[in-house]
Amino acid sequence: MVLMKFRLALAAFLAVLAVPALAEEPRACPNNPSTVGMQARMKTMREQMDRIEWTTDRAEQRRLMDLNMKHMHEGVRELRKRDMPVACHLEMMDTMMETMVRHAQLSQEPGPGR
């Protein structure tokens, strides 16, 4: 019971931190050829999370979350390979943190049969 309360409190805390991240704001990553692929990757991760949140079928939601996590891992590998401006690295990390918070929120929501 204590662990459950801790998880809920942690999810609520992370949700409060995520509110500014969920607001659409201008992106810091500059528009140059070296960052175009990373911008597309960030957009894909955000769109995937939107789709996951709207999906009501838990099995489909789990499949989409697994796919989203795969894209996040690929994004981390790309960050290590590319020589990009610091602002772009920070934006990518912000997108990944936002995605992790949204994953945590979804895992705390009661689903069918829970």
pLDDT digits (tens, 9 = 90+) for 27-64: 566 666 777 778 788 888 889 999 998 998 989 988 99
CA distance 72 to 59: 20
Give 60-64's long-range contacts (Cβ < 8 A, gap of 24+).
Answer: 61/106, 61/111
CA distance 14 to 24: 18
Tens of pLDDT along 70-111?
988 888 888 888 787 788 788 888 888 888 888 888 878 765
- Give pLDDT, residue 104: 85
CA distance 39 to 45: 10
Residue 76's nearest CA partner among 55, 97, 61 is: 97
User: Which tokens hold the place of 5?
Assistant: 């309360």
Residue 53's nearest CA partner among 98, 114, 5, 8 is: 98
Amino acid at 89: H
Residues 6+ apart with CB under 8 A from 64: 48, 51, 52, 55
The domain limits of the chain are 35-104
